[in-house]
Structure 1
Amino acid sequence: MLNVANKKIIRKLSFRSFRSNRTRNIVALIAIALTTILFTSIFTVAISMNYSWQQQTMRMVGGSAHGGFKYLTKEQVNELKDHPLIKEYGYSVMLAMPMESPFHKHHTEIRYGNDDGAKLFFSYPTTGRMPSEVKELATDTKVLDLLGVPHELGQKVTFTYPLGGKNITDTFTLCGFWETDETMLASQIWLSKDYVEEKLSSYDKEADKGWGSNIIGTWSLDVMFDNSSNIEKNLSIIAEDKGYNTLDNTAGNYLDTGVNWAYTSTHLNSADRMITLLALAMIVVLIVLTGYLIIYNIFQISISNDIRFYGLLKTIGTTYKQLKRLIRNQALMLSLLGIPVGLVIGFFIGNTLTKIIMSNMAVTSTYITFNPWIFIGSAVFSCITVLISTRKPGKMAASVSPMEAVRFVERSIVKQKTSRTKTGSKVYRMARGNLIRSRKKTTLVILSLSLSVVLLSAVYTFAKGFNMDKFLSKFVVSDFVVGHADYFKSYFRSEDQKVTESIISAIHEQEGITEEGRVYLYTDLASVLQTKKKFMEFYSDLPPEHLDSSIINKKDEDMVEMNLDVYGLDELPMKHLKLVKGSIDLEQMNQEHGIIQLLSEDDYGNLYMHESIYNIGDKVSIHYITDYDIDDKGNVTENNGFDIDYKVVATAMIPNNISMRRYGSLNFAITSDTMREDMEIISNNKNVFSTMNYMINVEPDKESNMESFIKDYTNNVEADINYESKSTYTKEFQSFQNMFLLIGGILSLIIGFIGIMNFINAELTSIMSRKRELAMLNSIGMTGKQIKRMLVIEGLFYGGNAIVISFFVSILVGFFLIRQMESMLWFFQYHFTVIPILGVLPIFILLGIIIPLSAYKATNKQSIVERLREAE
């Protein structure tokens, strides 16, 4: 065969054939765009959620660096910063952390740092610059507001800070500022290098016994690597290469390091990564299958309709490869139009869904990321889907012989049965025969319709499986819990964060209170002596490298000190403890000086039994420290302390929402009466215990009034106090549930629209391609009413079978997949429901009636003779 340069001709044929199939092109364009929308929206949600979560967490952590070295000298910073693994770095040195007014309600750090360090802290001036002159200052608008300074460069800023046991008051010139990010838990005041080093040159660390004195004058080096994988390993390599170690904190060459846990890779093990990749792969396969079903069907139907055209091309010498290329070129032309539209719409939908999701995950800000992989990945997968979908139709067009093309009638190769009837063929039998004639097309249309219904059913079943009673039992033990704002951030520690008597009195004056009670907490240091064996049992869930090496090296019978927290409980919180063993009798506890060993639980209600290291009846001697100093290594020097003996009367689980809301230490509870008596002995006129939270129950009809009062009071009278209510969690639960319904509903709608389009396209092209056949039926006496009934039966057959298949597949999906969520989500309880399937049924019935009738009406405008001649 001659090698003829005919690519230009094939392109021209492709373009002209493309132009002649307007209906197919419109449907295929929409299908390709919808497939791309699915890819883009899923990728946008996944990437933007991860990015937003990381950004939010970074701001809470205080920086975007991969990791860093803490408590360094200036010489160590210079030694470490030039390591080849480090691609970017920032450094800073701490001067002071003021705790007195106006900084007593807002954590503020005074530092010197370089520009890159400030950027890694999210604390770089957006107006002005970093300090360079001795008496210059840069900070955020929150600090300026606390100091009453206008947001204008050149303003004089005066404040007082502690250093070396003295308070220093100084005035600076504002050279830069930035808007406060409410997510950040701390503000930075940047001062010049000369000023900070001059103040630290006379700083006596040994004489400083103030809070945080262990980090004053120490340098931090924050670093960025090529990527966020193996951060901890890279930090260790840097330290070891410079002659340091990061494991043994008792060694003289020890360096303290920190890994930024905001990066997803830092808390995903290989199994988690595999599960994540598998889930993403399943979603991609689902979308490819969805797109494939319609795009394949569109081209298959189109080629069936134009089969005579391809046969004629064969007669004039068009080769197998050229015909395949012709079909592929048309598909690529459609992709060039449909994919960009899908990318734009999908990105918009994806970011909208991301904001909805993140708002239900306590993320205050959603960060839109124009990650190029969103568009590259979506475009590539969409293009692959199109090429896969057109491959078989292309082979079909290329394989047909000229003679077969001329005689072609759409059918499946099935064994035909001959039947005799006295009444003639029934309409429903004719409809059934028409569908069987092209089994592959019929199967694909039914599958594409079923897929959308199955997905909708799965999403609805999943969202409705959220059990509100289970959810509320985890978070709510009373109608209202009142506490300091820091308490609800899991940061309660001192007398300054207590619930004030003024708000308790104000609440007590309101109508409808049925129960009330307080949870007290000892706010100074407390500890017990326990064997190393028991210590290791308690911390058995922690890796050994996270424990003090000096303890690990001890013998099992050696005594070690364990820090603990002691609660004092009124009757209301006491009755919400979940008893594990022993008994709780308040009167008996007061008489016997009883104490309850407290355990925590995981999200599924499983108790952390390794925290139970005492038996009922054991004696516990708690050492209360009321006066102490802390050195720069965090070691405590005791100045005054008392030992008080207790008897363990019970082991119980304390609900998270009335506890300190954090774990990691031994916890005990005594009655509030016992706490008041014991603290009076050891306090020495010092407040050593505080009201951590105040719980109340009210009459049902008074709940809304109480909530309005507490909300108004905490907003306008005592802004540092916050609260949680049962209605808060109810709204949170409903919002969380509606989020899944909305997102799943949107995705189901897109896939459902693809399925409906497939149905419409199949019905229209089938009826249009059967114009001659329908005309022949008219000519031999079949009435228009009978033909309409036959076509409607065909349409209802599609919808009916899709519903039946969806029902059985939904049962299987629910039982084998969704039901497994009970072991993954503690508030989930599986119940199969047919509501979404029944909801779709009327839509399918309407489509099965309207589309065939509309298509037949369009073909029936010509006379029978004209239709018979047109098809020849």
Structure 2
Amino acid sequence: MNIVNKLTLRHLKENKRRTLVTIIGTIISVAMITAVSTLSVSFLDLMQRHQIANNGEWHVQYENVNPEQVETMKNDDNTKDVFLTRDKGYAYLESSENEFKPYLFISEFNREGFEYFPISLVEGVLPSSNNEIIISEHIESNANVRFSIGDELILEVGKRVNEADNLTDMGQTQSFVKMDDESLEKIVNTTKETYTVVGIMERPMWEPLWAPGYTVISYLNEDTLTANDRVNASVLLKDVNQSLYENAELFAEENNISLDSIDYNRHLLRYLGVTTFDTFRATLFSLSAIIIAIIIIGSVALIYNAFSISVSERSRHLGMLSSVGATKKQKRNAVFFEGAVIGLISIPLGLLAGIGGIGITFIFINSFIEDALSIQAKLTVTVTPLSILTACIVSIITIFISAYIPAQRASKVTPIEAIRQTSDIKVTRKKVKTSNIVRKLFGIEGEIGLKNLKRNKRKYQVTVFSLIISIMLFLTVSFFTESIERSVELSNQGVNYDIELYTGEELTSEVGTIFEELKRLDGVTDYTHTTEIQSLRTWINERNLSDSLLEMVTDHPDILTDGKYQYFINIYGLHEDSFHKYTEEIGVSAEQIIWSQGLSAIVVDTHTYQDWETGAFIETKAVKTSVGETIPLFYEDWETNEELHVFDIEVAALTDTLPMGIRSSNMGGLNIIVHASILEQYMTEDFPYYPIHNLYLTSDHPMETQQQIEEIKTDSMSVYNYYQTRQQDKQAMLIISIFIYGFIVLITAISIANILNTISTSISLRKREFAMLKSVGMTPKSFNKMIRYESIFYGIKSLLYGLPISIGFMYLIHLAITQSFVYSFQLPWGSIMIVIVAVFIIVSATMLYSTSKVRKENIIETLKQENI
């Protein structure tokens, strides 16, 4: 080791506080980079396991294929394994107490199917022959029909069809169809099958909540298949990449398999990085690039500050080395050597801290996932050699970049500059000149404070830069979180409730009483009661069309009739309490609408729809109208095809907010909100449509609430529970929020540490200046005012730069997200206000802490010191 490196090590040892702070800052930075890479791998692993647990481990499925085609799949070079399933059909479940689930749905799996598909046995064994079967424990809990291992089932198994059309083969995704307590479907083409119950399983996760049949599974012996038999073949591939879709279609064409029979495990493929929507993939890549750029910029900036301050403090030491013959290269390498030492200590510790921190965070998150969100899969720390190598390389590059500029500056330090200490403070009249406005606004104390900041420009810039980085990271990351939440809302298409109950029967006193009783059930936290009328129409002038429709008109002008476009109208009558709650939410006077002449309404002039060509969710204006305009409504007489006028709606208010439960209209549609009692006055005996009455509920205990509803409702009322769908969204948002805000905490910790270091170092080096000011008559009160004004100047300068830069990054994030979710750009004013307040608190607190150490210094002793 040469003498320069030995002196560098000695300098690090003697300046323990500075070295320790630099190491801690670098450790946190490395830990953050490690945590991000580990989190990415672990999160993808969780979602892959979660999807496998729900839908099985397969990539491509070919339906209705013969044994010869299956053999071709097995022999394909990219095939890892193939498992077979077959839907045997439906059979009536005798004595079922669930009127909407009267069937058993018999499915068959081969041996590999039981291995790769998520089947969880409660007791017994898996079937090993085609006359053995396992049943779902859900049958007993939901239908109140009990089976035991060893029971023999004699079933008439056939195809479920609609009474009106025997050719319609209905599956598990289509709910049971009935009207006025009468079934509108039947089972045809039955065969008699005898099964022995050999096991009981948990309710399959892939069975839809609204499925009409309880899934039971038998064994599929592929050795007994004939050339005329048809099965579903699910393929597990060796190499999964974007060409999967093209290869599957090519394979189907080469083997005479219908393209319509190809299905993909899309959720699993998405988390493997393979998706059909280019916009979704582009969004992921764009967001990843922006977030990684923010991490690197933040890390480089913050570690750079530590090295920059270190070089400033070592300037006299470097000058002495230069005076005894040290070359520029040796001085530059001294800083790089310092970076290497810091890296050797920080990187291993940072790797351990990052992985350990993620592990502790996972323990916390898993309790939420398992208990609150009913998700069986758990987050586990998944560390791959590539993720560790990536973290090391990024950390080394970060430290090198951080040390490069200080190293270059160190190489240029001359002996005279170092001895005179003028490299950081170079004063000219022009540079320290201040405006007369500053003196008038802040007094002499403010002017002295501002002149000092201009004189100590480098340290001032380091502090401001740290604050800018903190502002930028906080605002961009919080904006990212809000954008993800907004995207989830758009993709949910208005499912912001737990339970939906609807009926097409007249709202008699009995039905009204039941609805009122359901609103007051234990656990119900919110509700919306609506009377809905669909299929009305109106004609909108071309100039009032939404932008998306105007684009269509440009390409297809023939869709207009006499310069107008036909809109489909949905009218929602909100009942008394629901209407008042909604109008209060959007800031409109309910009484003014209720007591106005005619039928006044609130028009929802913004809607969300999905562009099926690109897969993007688009939020845009539904119509261009204004308060006071009248919208005439029509309906079409199906017998005469004549368009008849119903009544007119006066626009009383415009809003972009929908009541809970009401979903957004599609392109060319419009949602209109009125008071239910006013609407009913217009629904005379000759009114063409019968209304639908809906009740949307949120509950603390949705499953229990649904059970209570089932006991109270009439047969004509239908209930749908969207609780699990909402919980999956909450799970995703919870995990994202925890990690994102954890990231903010880490970055903020580094920023505050650097701000504290920079300001405290600056204050410490200004002891002689403070002593001089006190010696010429500056009072403690004036001194405090000067420090406060300096804090204000720090905050103002950092906000002047930090806010525009942050807005630029936020807009980039918005552009990335709008490749899949199109909505207007809105600034997060709440987060901006938090940042403004936080900046002044951080700077003020740091200044007060730093100056508290020098206030009691003896003026004479301080002035005698040459080097503080």
| TM-score (normalised: structure 2) | 0.62
The match for 1:244 among 232, 255, 280 is: 255
Inter-CA distance 431–127: structure 2 relative to 1 (3 Å threshold): farther
1:32 pairs with 2:51: no
Contact 2:134/2:217 (8 A) holds in 1: yes
* 1:191 aligned counterpart, secondary structure: strand
After superposition, the C-alpha distances for 1:84-113 in whole angstroms (9 at most, x for unaligned) are 121233223444444534597388654443
Contact 2:287/2:817 (CA < 8 Å) preserved in 1?
A: no
Task: Report the Cα distance in structure 1 between the residues aligned to 2:8 and 2:238, rounded to whole angstroms.
Answer: 51
Question: Against the structure 1 CA distance between its residues 353 and 382, is the aligned structure 2 distance closer, same or farther, given a 3 Å change threshold?
Answer: farther
1:159 and 1:52, CA in 2 relative to 1: closer, same or farther beyond 3 A?
farther
| CA deviation string 1:4-38 (max 9, x = no partner) | xx37x777665544333332234334433443455
RMSD between aligned alpha carbons?
A: 6.3
Question: Are residues 1:234 and 2:279 paired?
Answer: no
Instruction: Write out aligned runs for 1:243-642 (5 A).
Output: 243-246=254-257, 256-262=261-267, 263-264=269-270, 265-270=273-278, 272-313=280-321, 315=324, 319-320=330-331, 322-332=333-343, 333-346=345-358, 367-368=378-379, 370-371=381-382, 372=384, 376-413=389-426, 415-417=428-430, 426-454=444-472, 456=474, 475=494, 481-483=500-502, 505=510, 507-509=512-514, 602=610, 603-604=618-619
Query: What's the CA shift for 1:284?
Result: 1.4
Please list the CA deviations of residues 236-260 of structure 1 after superposition, one character each: whole Å capped at 9, or x if unmatched. Answer: 34445xx5244678xxxxxx32222
1:855 maps onto 2:863 in alignment? no
The one-letter code matched in structure 2 to 1:854 is Y
**Is the contact between residue 453 and residue 840 of structure 1 (CA under 8 Å) also seen in structure 2?**
yes
2:841 is the counterpart of 1:830 = no
Instruction: Note closer, same or farther for the CA distance 1:52–1:234 as it changes in structure 2 (3 Å cut).
Output: same
Distance 1:773 1:173, change over 3 A: same
Question: Do 2:305 and 2:462's aligned partners in 1 also have CA atoms closer than 8 Å?
Answer: yes
Mapping 1:43-192, distance limit 5 Å: 62-101=55-94, 105=101, 109-123=105-119, 130-132=126-128, 136-138=132-134, 141-142=137-138, 158=153, 160=155, 162=157, 165-174=190-199, 177=201, 180-181=204-205, 189-192=216-219
CA deviations 1:643-696 (Å, max 9, x no partner) are xx66263899x9997899999xxxxxxx9999999xxxxxxxxxxxxx996426
Cα offset for 1:370?
3.6
In structure 2, the CA distance between the partners of 1:510 and 1:285, relative to structure 1 (3 Å rule), is: closer
Pick closer, same or farther for the CA change 1:764–1:155 going to 2, 3 Å. Answer: farther
Q: C-alpha offsets along residues 796-825 of structure 1, whole Å, 9 cap, x if unaligned?
A: 321232234445556767788769989975
Deviations 1:179-223 (A, max 9, x none): 7548766876443455x877x88x9x9xxxxxxxxxx85342433
Residues 648/197 of structure 1: CA separation in 2 closer, same or farther (3 Å cut): farther
Describe the SS at the equivalent of 1:131.
coil
The structural deviation recorded for 1:157 is: 6.6
For 1:244-294, what per-residue CA distance to the aligned partner results, in whole angstroms no more than 9, with x for missing partners?
244678xxxxxx322222222553444543343222111111122222222
CA distance in 1: counterparts of 2:724 and 2:508, whole angstroms: 20
1:408 partner amino acid: Q
Tell me the TM-score normalized by structure 1.
Answer: 0.62
Identity of matched residues, % = 18
The residue correspondences of 1:722-801 to structure 2 (distance < 5 A) are 722=719, 747-774=743-770, 789-801=785-797
Change in Cα spacing, 1:792 to 1:340, as seen in structure 2 (3 Å) is farther
- In 2, distance between residues paired with 1:192 and 1:291? 57
The one-letter amino acid paired with 1:431 is: G
Which piece of structure 1 moves more, 16-25 or 178-187?
178-187
Residue 590 of structure 1 is matched in structure 2 by: none
Superimposed CA distance per residue, residues 563-597 of structure 1 (whole angstroms, 9 cap, x where no aligned partner):
xxxx9x99969xxxxxxxxxxxxxxxxxxxxxxxx
| Letter aligned with residue 83 of structure 1 | D
Q: Which amino acid aligns with 2:243?
A: N
| Equivalent residue, structure 2, for 1:802 | 798
Report the CA distance between 1:231 and its aligned residue: 1.9
- The answer (yes or no) to whether the contact 1:44–1:351 under 8 Å persists in 2 is no
Query: Aligned pair in 2 of structure 1 residues 162, 36: CA closer, same or farther (>3 Å)?
Result: same
Report if aligned partners of 1:619, 1:647 keep a CA contact under 8 Å in 2. yes
- Displacement after TM superposition at 1:233 (Å): 1.9
- In the TM superposition, residue 65 of structure 1 has moved relative to its aligned partner by 1.0
Structure 2 gaps, min length 5: 159-188, 520-527, 536-551, 553-567, 575-606, 611-617, 624-633, 647-657, 668-682
Structure 2 distance, partners of 1:285, 1:330, is: 26
Larger mean CA deviation between 228-237 and 844-853 belongs to 844-853
Residue identity in the other structure for 1:257: I
Deviation at 1:337, TM superposition (A): 2.5
8 Å CA contact 1:86–1:223 kept in 2: the answer is: yes
Output the CA distance in 1 between the equivalents of 2:571 and 2:404. 74
Counterpart-to-counterpart distance in 2, 1:52 and 1:693:
42
Deviates more, 1:63-72 or 1:88-97: 88-97
